[in-house]
Structure 1
């Protein structure tokens, strides 16, 4: 009887221990959920950006960018080395524009070029040796008709020789930080050593679009060329079908820029579009889908990327968004009692008159309507203590959407004035010996404005440690009972 009672007592104790274990687990779960909620509420959750749902072959390099803010909205293989075909004529054109005083002055086509070549991957405008033609007509012929003979003529006329002009191209590429690109000719024919990336071409195109003449040339659907001593007057049409109303690939918002195609590069298209004041640039390289002699998939890819950008994003003036943003104030420790600002540095809102920012459309609309607001987060150097000299770097401030966390603008906080330390010589020649305690104004930023976060970290961490210790204690008790428990057998009742 004693053995039976002891076994029953042991089993009951074991059951209670198990129940306590489950109870502790439930408590831990509740605490974890509770503090996860606190963490979520204590910071802004960044929403996932809109996803492009179009279909692009994995081998294609593509990039979509806002032309005003420079923000990349979509990219695929943007840093892959690719053949650019005739899209490098963008670089040839901008160099010619920057090095030609009078575009309407007639120039003579030099004898050095091969102006009779027509076979293979060499597209032609049809210029002839000793032809008198304006540089303007040459550039239109190069960019609209994609004449490789026109590109060679421009290179010789501007650079003195094609090799010299190629050096100018690589120098300009270096200035624009096109670090993954190298050029060996002016027209884009497939040659060893000629490589670019979509990201580098974006840098080039953003730069070129700042030139109004370039922008006018690449946005022209057709152009009337004057007669010359070697050619009749003629009208040339842009090879960019996005600009041609009669084309099945016409896109009403398209504004330029340049096509390209070679056997090595496939179909390439650098294009721009404007809708509701938003200016986008799209880059598509490596289209291998042909219809007859044309690479055709680059056009629907480009159109779908433009629509993705226009439907999901909006570009706005940063100065308009930040017109009501309050100045940042930072309290300096150990300041002189003679300091007129009581040790407070005030940083005026940034001067962003010519700055644009591209945001998700809802974020931009909510900020404009007042349903969302801009918040400032500072990152200050380790200790903000006098003496401070005007021009010292105090830290950085990042302005973002309170609702989504999307970053609008980040800039350095540069001390706008000197702050003398306590005990230093004041402006009237007297020595300040008293060390004052700071008297910060409202909404002042001290060395850290994130101290509250520690409470959310330390408190739950302490509770979790306590619960773990408690569980371990219970387990040891359970082990102890197991150690002294007598073997328990089941008997069959006959």
Structure 2
């Protein structure tokens, strides 16, 4: 007769104890294997972060960035630095004439007398004519005031005004560009490098809409810059070659049918365009006492097509009015 096996005393207790210890461990391991509700377990690369953030905003709005013609955009409320909309805001762009925001603020910070008269050297004009650069209308040998050159930079986007200021204030364009890059570093524009004062295309001349927003916010704190940036037109003083002066018109305001968009008023701006940069725009608007800046870049089209950079501004600002 087979003997009945005798159970070892305490084996059941040990099994129960092991179960109590093992189950929490398994639970913890499982938690670490599951993706978090807020972020992936494995961190994204910078490129992946940019891809994942494209098309998203920091504050819900009715607008989808897919509606924008511009490949990059950022909208910021100035009083609290709140980003209300962004699209590829840290992606590399060619800033075209948005460059002249930096040209103007650096010039202003190196001018002691805005009414000082200077003569534009003949040497700066030939290459600009060859490049078909946008011009304010000054001529070789023209004697003009520094303040009129500043308006010539920003309103008609005059390349001769930009390079003229560079030669007069720094001795050469390359010397002045060094000052521009130093200012970019000072402002924390880490993804920006300037190669010229005009925005004419150069592969080593680049930025992001995020960096341009930092620049514009800084520049707007300068009262003279703000006056120039928000002017719809300006007539220069009489010169030796233009006794009646020259009247400039803002390239942005002249392309807008209205500045009032459903309660939002556009009060300043600077356009930009090259074939490589596409249509760009940096603008300032006000709604219910609050100021906003919008930077867009990379819209299709050119100076002869519909101005999709301005169309995007109307789209964004009209949506802002609904908030």
TM-score range, shorter chain: 0.7 to 0.9
Task: Determine if contact 1:249/1:299 at 8 Å carries over to the other structure.
Answer: no
Deviations along 1:356-407, whole A, 9 cap, x unmatched? xxxxxxxxxxxxxxxxxxxxxxxxxxxxxxxxxxxxxxxxxxxxxxxxxxxx
The residue aligned with 1:239 is 251
The residue aligned with 1:167 is 178
Q: Which sections of structure 1, spanning at least 5 residues, go unmatched?
A: 1-47, 313-494
Question: C-alpha distance in 2, partners of 1:272/1:63?
Answer: 12
Instruction: Show the 5 A alignment for 1:250-261.
Output: 250-251=259-260, 253-261=265-273
Deviations along 1:320-345, whole A, 9 cap, x unmatched? xxxxxxxxxxxxxxxxxxxxxxxxxx
Task: Determine if contact 2:279/2:298 at 8 Å carries over to the other structure.
Answer: yes
Instruction: Show the 5 A alignment for 1:119-130.
Output: 119-130=130-141
Task: Determine if contact 1:113/1:153 at 8 Å carries over to the other structure.
Answer: yes
Structure 2-normalised TM-score?
0.76
Q: Please, which of 277, 289, 296 is the counterpart of residue 289 of structure 2?
A: 277
Q: Please, which of 72, 96, 99 is the counterpart of residue 83 of structure 2?
A: 72
Structure 1-normalised TM-score?
0.50
Is residue 248 from structure 1 mapped to residue 260 from structure 2 by the alignment? no
The residue aligned with 1:224 is 235
Question: C-alpha distance in 2, partners of 1:261/1:58?
Answer: 14
**Distance 1:152-1:276 versus aligned 2 partners, 3 A rule:** same
Task: Determine if contact 2:252/2:269 at 8 Å carries over to the other structure.
Answer: yes
For the residue of structure 2 that corresponds to 1:114, the secondary structure is helix
Instruction: Show the 5 A alignment for 1:434-449.
Output: none
Larger radius of gyration: 1
The residue aligned with 2:40 is none
For the residue of structure 2 that corresponds to 1:311, the secondary structure is coil
Hey, which bits of structure 1, 4+ residues long, moved more than 4 A? Answer: none
The residue aligned with 1:286 is 298
Deviations along 1:72-127, whole A, 9 cap, x unmatched? 11000100100000011000000111110110111121344125743554101122
Task: Determine if contact 1:125/1:142 at 8 Å carries over to the other structure.
Answer: yes
Question: C-alpha distance in 2, partners of 1:224/1:73?
Answer: 36
Question: C-alpha distance in 1, partners of 2:59/2:137?
Answer: 48
Question: C-alpha distance in 1, partners of 2:231/2:192?
Answer: 28
User: What RMSD in Å do the two structures reach over aligned CA positions?
Assistant: 2.0
Task: Determine if contact 1:269/1:285 at 8 Å carries over to the other structure.
Answer: yes
Question: C-alpha distance in 2, partners of 1:265/1:169?
Answer: 20
Task: Determine if contact 2:256/2:310 at 8 Å carries over to the other structure.
Answer: no
For the residue of structure 1 that corresponds to 2:271, the secondary structure is strand
Cα deviation, residue 255, structure 1: 1.0
Question: C-alpha distance in 2, partners of 1:175/1:293?
Answer: 37
For the residue of structure 2 that corresponds to 1:236, the secondary structure is strand
Cα deviation, residue 249, structure 1: 5.4
The residue aligned with 2:163 is 152
Which of 1 and 2 has higher RCO (CA within 8 Å, sep 6+)? 2
Cα deviation, residue 130, structure 1: 2.4
Aligned residues: 261
Is residue 93 from structure 1 mapped to residue 108 from structure 2 by the alignment? no
